[in-house]
């Protein structure tokens, strides 16, 4: 029986207008895709599949790498950055978190101590799971069938949503979801605790609780059930230091059986642009235990991010480039030594806010071509998503259609 | 007379090398080959992203 580990981070923005995007999860037990749902609350959910099969927009792929699995929020809210404002003349797009770069200190009239302090100040590098996120957000999400989502905000703290999914490949289903946002404010638009849950017509539950314990420590608990049986349960704690981030995740701990998974992440800023880190996954069950380690490096430029993750299971490289306000490009390279497979993907994102339109396209080395078109039908509270994927090698075509109300 | 003979001796070697290189580059089941080809595609994709993506979609259209 396979199990999944989810590592994620939630940034909640703007409690007055809620727009939640819940990332696409793959239920390994039933083989169904759990929904990409549009709610009323703005969220970014980032799930990392650790050592298991977890590809958000490429279900054909299997990777055993420590996971970075970006949520597909078509318009992700900008994360609250702890650093300084971007440098003059530099356009920072929404959702593009720039590490603050130390300003050039003039050579005359400046205190040497202040100069030294300015040079040595390093920004927080962000979460480990966010290293590949910017690139992954450029790629379209594979969707199949028809989906209708209705969001209803009952108050500034609570909202519900109904999702109806009609599919030709899988069973059709209905999901009911709720979101609660607390009143403990930790940032300009960050409120905690956050509780998100949804249940489908068969009784399977997905739930998450995120709480900011202190200004530097954030905790998260996630549960997943298959009807009445708990299949995934995990808790993690993230500590954000001045120039580093450390996270520990406990997955499916079972004291009676003596099994469980521990995932630890560490990411350290070396320079204002360069961050290095590592991940250690330790798994144990009766008669078996093992550990997998991988290293990550992230370099952030003026308008690009290059990230490389390498481990015993393989390598994952991504390059994100923001050409201008309308166009973002992403290139991804994955190599799995265990599966003896490599792939390259090229994707782009066209954002035309004047037309309330966003288009994503991708092509990869397996001859899979995909596209997503999202259009907000203002002034109506409607959002339309069209998606199609074509696998030329296997002669398979998949298309999806989604309407979100509210 | 050794010149043409040496050329003939080296050309089968060169031909063999070309043949093996062609077989390597077209063997889709070879992991190393796939790794190198995809790595080259990744580098090409990064080059395209950095150099060929700076067109402005919102610029006014030229008047004919």
Q: Which of A170, A174, A190 is nearest to A182 (CA)?
A: A190
Average pLDDT of A144-165? 95
* Residue range A129-405 in CATH 3.40.50.2300: no
Which chain A residues have any C-beta within 8 angstroms of a chain B C-beta?
304, 317, 319, 321, 323-324, 326-327, 329-333, 335, 340-344, 346, 348, 350, 352, 354, 365
Give ∠ CA A339-A35-A265 in degrees, rounded to 5: 50
**Does the distance separating the beta carbons of A346 and B48 come in below 8 Å?**
yes
**Does the distance separating the beta carbons of A352 and B49 come in below 8 Å?**
no
pLDDT (0 to 100) of residue A198: 95
Task: For A268-316, write each residue's pLDDT tens digit.
Answer: 999 999 999 999 999 999 999 999 999 999 999 999 999 999 998 899 9
pLDDT of A228 over the 90 cut: no
pLDDT of A93 over the 90 cut: no
B42 is written with which tokens? 């990744």
Average pLDDT of A58-63? 38
Average pLDDT of A6-21? 40
pLDDT of A143 over the 50 cut: yes
Average pLDDT of A108-137? 76
**Does the distance separating the beta carbons of B38 and A343 come in below 8 Å?**
yes
- Count CA atoms closer than 13 A to A64's CA, side-chain side: 15
Beta strands A396-405; A145-153: pairing state: parallel
SS3 A111: coil
- CB contacts < 8 Å between A and B, how many? 61
Alpha-carbon gap: B43 to the closest alpha carbon of chain A (Å): 9
**Does the distance separating the beta carbons of A327 and B55 come in below 8 Å?**
yes
pLDDT (0 to 100) of residue A378: 87
pLDDT (0 to 100) of residue A69: 35
pLDDT (0 to 100) of residue B7: 59
Tell me which chain B residue has its CA closest to the CA of residue A321.
Answer: B49
Percent of chain A with pLDDT over 90: 61
B31 touches chain A (CB under 8 A): yes
Average pLDDT of A169-188? 91
pLDDT (0 to 100) of residue A42: 38
Task: For B5-45, write each residue's pLDDT tens digit.
Answer: 665 556 788 888 888 888 877 777 888 888 999 999 999 99
Instruction: Mean pLDDT check: name the lowest of A214-223, A378-387, B53-62.
Output: B53-62
pLDDT (0 to 100) of residue A295: 96
**Does the distance separating the beta carbons of B49 and A323 come in below 8 Å?**
yes
pLDDT (0 to 100) of residue B11: 77
pLDDT of A261 over the 90 cut: yes
pLDDT (0 to 100) of residue B18: 86
Tell me which chain B residue has its CA closest to the CA of residue A346.
Answer: B45
Alpha-carbon gap: A343 to the closest alpha carbon of chain B (Å): 6
**Does the distance separating the beta carbons of B49 and A321 come in below 8 Å?**
yes
Distance separating alpha carbons of residues A174 and A179, to the nearest angstrom = 17
- CA atoms A92, A94, A100, A105: torsion sign: positive
Average pLDDT of A100-119? 51
Confidence of residue A122 (pLDDT cuts 50, 70, 90): confident
Task: For A349-374, write each residue's pLDDT tens digit.
Answer: 999 999 999 999 999 999 999 999 99
The residue that leads in pLDDT, A78 or A264, is: A264
DSSP letter for each residue of A315-355: EEEEEEEE-SSSEEEEEEEEEETTTTEEEEEEEEEEEEGGG
**Does the distance separating the beta carbons of A344 and B42 come in below 8 Å?**
yes
The percent of chain B in helix, strand and coil, each rounded to the nearest 5, is 70, 0, 30
Task: For A14-38, write each residue's pLDDT tens digit.
Answer: 333 334 334 433 433 333 333 333 3
Which residues does chain B have within 8 Å of residue A333's beta carbon, measured at their own beta carbons?
A: 38-39, 42
Kindly list the domain boundaries of chain A, sorted by start residue: 129-405
Rg (CA), chain B: 23
Supply the ipTM of this predicted assembly: 0.71
pLDDT of A90 over the 70 cut: no
pLDDT of A333 over the 60 cut: yes
Which residues does chain B have within 8 Å of residue A350's beta carbon, measured at their own beta carbons?
A: 57
pLDDT (0 to 100) of residue B23: 81
A117 is written with which tokens? 């302090």
For testing contact with chain A, the best of B28, B29, B40, B46 (most A CBs within 10 A): B46
Alpha-carbon gap: A332 to the closest alpha carbon of chain B (Å): 7
B9 touches chain A (CB under 8 A): no
pLDDT of A86 over the 70 cut: no
**Does the distance separating the beta carbons of A326 and B31 come in below 8 Å?**
no
**Does the distance separating the beta carbons of A331 and B45 come in below 8 Å?**
yes
What is the average pLDDT value for chain A, to the nearest integer? 78
B54 touches chain A (CB under 8 A): yes
**Cβ–Cβ < 8 Å for A323, A315:** no
């Amino acid at each position: 029986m396979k199990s999944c580990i989810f590592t994620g981070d939630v940034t909640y923005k703007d409690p007055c207008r809620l727009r939640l995007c819940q990332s696409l999860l793959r239920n390994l037990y039933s083989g169904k895709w759990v929904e990409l749902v549009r709610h009323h609350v703005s969220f970014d959910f980032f799930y990392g599949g650790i050592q298991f099969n977890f590809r958000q927009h490429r279900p054909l792929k299997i990777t055993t790498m420590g996971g970075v699995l970006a949520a597909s929020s078509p318009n992700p809210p900008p994360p609250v950055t702890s650093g300084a404002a971007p440098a003059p003349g530099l356009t920072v797009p929404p959702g593009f978190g720039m590490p603050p770069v130390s300003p050039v200190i003039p050579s005359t009239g400046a205190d040497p101590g202040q100069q030294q302090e300015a040079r040595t100040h390093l920004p927080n590098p962000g979460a480990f799971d966010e290293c590949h996120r910017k690139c992954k957000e450029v790629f379209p999400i594979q969707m199949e069938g028809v989906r209708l989502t209705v969001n209803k905000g009952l108050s500034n703290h609570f909202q519900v949503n109904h999702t109806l999914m009609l599919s030709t490949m899988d069973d059709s289903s209905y999901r009911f979801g709720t979101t609660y946002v607390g009143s403990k404010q930790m940032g300009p638009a960050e409120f905690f605790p956050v509780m998100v849950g949804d249940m489908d017509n068969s009784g399977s539950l997905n739930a998450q609780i995120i709480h900011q314990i202190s200004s530097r420590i954030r905790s998260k608990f996630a549960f997943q059930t298959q009807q009445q049986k708990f299949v995934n349960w995990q808790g993690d704690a993230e500590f954000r230091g001045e120039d580093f981030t450390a996270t520990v995740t406990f997955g499916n701990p079972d004291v009676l059986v003596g099994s469980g998974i521990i995932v630890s992440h560490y990411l350290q800023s070396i320079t204002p642009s360069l961050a290095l880190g590592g991940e250690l996954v330790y798994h144990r069950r009766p008669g078996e235990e093992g550990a997998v380690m991988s290293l990550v490096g992230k370099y952030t430029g003026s308008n690009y991010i290059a990230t490389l993750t390498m481990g015993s299971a393989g390598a994952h490289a991504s390059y994100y480039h923001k050409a201008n306000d309308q166009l973002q490009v992403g290139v991804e390279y994955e190599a799995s030594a265990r599966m003896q497979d490599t792939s390259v993907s090229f994707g782009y994102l066209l954002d035309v806010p004047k037309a309330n339109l966003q288009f994503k396209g991708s092509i990869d080395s397996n001859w899979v071509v995909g596209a997503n078109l999202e259009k907000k039908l203002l002034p109506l509270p409607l959002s339309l998503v069209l998606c199609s994927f074509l696998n030329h090698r296997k002669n398979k075509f998949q298309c999806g259609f989604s309407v979100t109300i509210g | 007379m050794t010149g043409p003979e040496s050329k003939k001796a080296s050309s089968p070697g060169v031909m063999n090398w070309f043949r093996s290189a062609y077989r390597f580059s077209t063997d889709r089941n070879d992991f190393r080959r796939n790794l190198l080809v995809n790595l080259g595609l990744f580098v090409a994709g990064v080059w395209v992203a950095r150099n060929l993506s700076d067109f402005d979609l919102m610029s006014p259209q030229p008047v004919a």
